[in-house]
Chain A
Amino acid sequence: MATAEVSPASTGSKQTLKVKRFKPSESPKNTYLTDEKGLWAWMTTVDHKKIGLMYLGSVTFFFLVGGILALLLRTELLTPAQTFIEADTYNQFFTLHGAIMVFFVLVPSIPAALGNFVLPMQLGAKDVAFPRLNLASLYIYMIGAIFTFIALANNGLDTGWTFYTPYSTESSSSVIWVTLGVFILGFSSILTGTNFIATIHKLRAPGITWGKLPLNIWALYATSIIQVLATPVLAITVLLLTMERFLGIGIFDPALGGDPVLFQHFFWFYSHPAVYIMIVPGFGIISEVITTFSKKHIFGYWAIALSSLAIAFIGFLVWGHHMFTSGQSAVATTVFSFLTFLVGIPTGIKILNWVATLYKGSIEMKTPMIYVFIFLFLFSIGGFTGIMLGALSADIHLHDTYYVVAHFHYVMMGGTLIALLAGLHYWWPKITGRMYNEFQGKIGSALIFIGFNMTFLPQFIMGSQGMPRRYYNYIDQFTIFHQTSTLGSYVLGIGFLLIAYYLAKSLINGEKAGSNPWGSRGLEWQSTSPPDLHNFDHTPVVINGPYDYHKPMEEFQLGLANEKDHH
């Protein structure tokens, strides 16, 4: 038919391939959902799409658990004194809300659920590099979850999700079960990261050079690097904490000559980069969605791609800003403050490039795009308040207040979770082959936006006025803020219920989506919806960049003409 000059990932040298157009079928007969059926087939599958879906289900379940805990916490805070639960229960609830949301929801949410589904498709690969490790990571995640539930059944956990020593070595709650759970969970994260790095390096379809990688892949690549480099440090930290409780090794115990601040250093050496494990994949989704619904090439491709790597790198150098009030030396504190400002630069570069992408685009306000705008708004607030917290004098006043709570909810929920919703709505037709109700989608996004700001804006105000975080009681002057916040959390809850409702409904009687309902140039959209078990029924060949909206669609649907050699 035609020829294309490309460099395959495996050799790197230019070669000419015979290609032809493969137009995806609009009503596929065989998809990954119909090819292997039954519970056992799902549980033993090595298909990255099914594993991604099982992750999505698990993450949704934990989000429900963590979300219910949040609503209970907010309900308790309706009145200044006790409303309906004991103080000890309250401590356990906020600890579990944090631990579940961070370790079981935010860390795996985008990479392991949506990333798993989309990454090989965007690379034109049949699967991730190590499909069996991918399945193993899911089961490791489950085992970690079981450990955490054992802790729940035995005394719970009341240390806060950060397990600070010396309290965590003394607390009578089940610290060991949770730390072991987190240790095990870490392996799941490491395996996902290792898998993604190897897949991106070695399994790209012919023609996909580093400059033609979708920005979602760049973001997942940066995320995987952080996962591989940071997670083992958390593993050794929680192992040392476990040993501290088992054997009293004393490394973090001042009574035995150890240093509790060292624990904070170790913990945040993982946990600060970990916030980038949570947010950087979200950046990837925003880049994909904003170009698709602006019908326009991304502004500053390399700036966005490399700023992901810059964030991954600088993110390793800022952990000390969690310890401004922990007795860290003044020199270290100053340096960490400066480095914290520095990490704002690549993030700012991304925001400006996204906004510039909109310029003169033909913007289509579909649900995923609305979430992108919500993201830009909320994440910018989260980011700027983060810079304020990185300023030394301001942090002394704001440390451990609701201001910090509001800041990281704006980043983690307003950033990561909103990006996840954008990605979920964007890829839902690809994953399920069905369209959700667009009108209900818009109502849902409005509820989320209103509910979110109602919940967390008042927290900035009361935090700046001195309301400490994690307190069970509060003085009367904060009542109005707490009550507004609680009402907002109910609105949020209703919003999530509505989303769950119309997404579930779309599975039953949603309109057929067709292969590419948004007219995207992304490779994952050039397959059927839902995709074939091996993603494509041909070997895709890529000659254009993923955002070349000025080029005709048929140039994005090429594959090797001589199929027998390669499939």
Chain B
Amino acid sequence: MANHSTSHPTHVHHHFVDSDQQFDTAKLGMWVFLVNEILFFGGLFCAYIVYRAWYPELFQMAALELNTFWGAVNTVVLIGSSLTVAMAIRSAQKNQMKGLKINLLITIALALVFMVIKGFEYAHKFEYGIFPGEFYTYDGIDHPQAHIFFSIYYMLTGVHALHVIIGIGLIYWIYRRAKRGEFSSEYYTPVEITGLYWHLVDLIWIFLFPLLYLIE
């Protein structure tokens, strides 16, 4: 990128006037992107609402098959990771580079714990033949459309898990950059906007948990 300015600090790209403008712009861009993410999940939530209205008794029966305990553990794990990512941003603002790196690593670890638990939950269901749609073979739920619930379950949690994996990649990348000493209290824009993304991933799970696991 052509940077023909001498007065700019190195992290400010050529088309911004100053560091503040760049920070505000990046943050706004991420917020706009998060709105787009909500609409993306919104489609799936809409499918959920339609089918729950059509087959209310199915949703009650099928939710009993989900393991509320491990779902609750995962909720705590993800909320914890949101806390650590917020602490990472706080460390960056206070110029505590060690705290930044440690908090990023804890966030990654918690995200991995979430994925492992989710993996065990999936594996457990596959054992019973609880697959999405036409591959569904389980006969423990007495409802002709039982597979529909699990199609929606796998789509929602699967797309969410994909976001967690992307988040792990992003946070690891931020960690590498932090290790190279690219951030300071003057410049921590990527930390901030990755944190925003991670909060959304957490938030979506907070909606998924009661909608899927806690139906009575």
Contact = CB atoms under 8 A, between A and B. Distances in A.
Interface of A: 10, 46, 125-131, 190, 193-195, 197-199, 201-203, 228-233, 235-237, 239-240, 243-244, 247-251, 256-259, 262, 266, 269, 533-534, 564-567
B50 A256 contact: no
A249 B44 CA distance: 13
A251 B21 contact: no
A386 B24 CA distance: 42
Interface in B1-54: 1-2, 5, 7, 13-18, 20-21, 24-26, 28-29, 32-33, 35-37, 39-44, 46-47, 50-51
Contacts of B13: 131
A236 B21 contact: no
A534 B17 CA distance: 13
B127 interface: no
B207 interface: no
User: Which 3 A/B pairs are nearest by Cβ-Cβ distance?
Assistant: A248-B134, A236-B43, A232-B40
Contacts of A257: 55, 144-145, 147-148
B29 A248 contact: no
B32 A198 contact: yes
A249 B29 contact: no
30 contacts: A126-B15, A127-B15, A131-B1, A190-B33, A190-B36, A194-B29, A197-B29, A197-B32, A201-B28, A202-B25, A203-B16, A203-B25, A229-B39, A230-B39, A232-B37, A233-B43, A240-B47, A240-B155, A247-B132, A248-B134, A249-B151, A250-B151, A256-B134, A257-B148, A262-B50, A266-B43, A266-B46, A266-B47, A269-B43, A534-B15
Contacts of A229: 35-36, 39
A236 B32 contact: no
A221 to B, nearest CB: 12
A193 B132 CA distance: 34
A58 B152 CA distance: 38
A564 to B, nearest CB: 7
B80 interface: no
Contacts of B69: none
Nearest to B44: A236
Contacts of A193: 32
A194 B33 contact: yes
Contacts of B144: 257
B2 A533 contact: yes
A197 B144 CA distance: 47
B99 interface: no
Contact residues on B (Cβ < 8 Å of other chain), bracket: 35 or more
B135 A126 contact: no
A228 B40 contact: no
B133 interface: yes
A214 to B, nearest CB: 19
Contacts of B46: 266
A262 B35 contact: no
Contacts of A534: 2, 14-15
Interface in B145-164: 145, 147-148, 151-152, 154-155, 159
Given A10-B17, A249-B151, A258-B148, A198 B1 contact: no
A319 to B, nearest CB: 12
Nearest to B51: A251
B43 A248 contact: no
A249 B21 contact: no
Contacts of B35: 228-229
A250 B148 contact: yes
Given A262-B47, A533-B2, 12 more contacts: A10-B21, A126-B15, A131-B15, A190-B33, A203-B21, A228-B32, A229-B36, A233-B43, A237-B43, A240-B44, A251-B47, A534-B15
A533 B2 CA distance: 10
A232 B29 contact: no
Given A129-B25, A198-B32, A233-B39, A251 B7 contact: no
Nearest to A237: B43
Contacts of B26: 130
A207 to B, nearest CB: 14
Contacts of A126: 14-15
A199 B22 CA distance: 11
A565 B159 CA distance: 47
A194 to B, nearest CB: 5
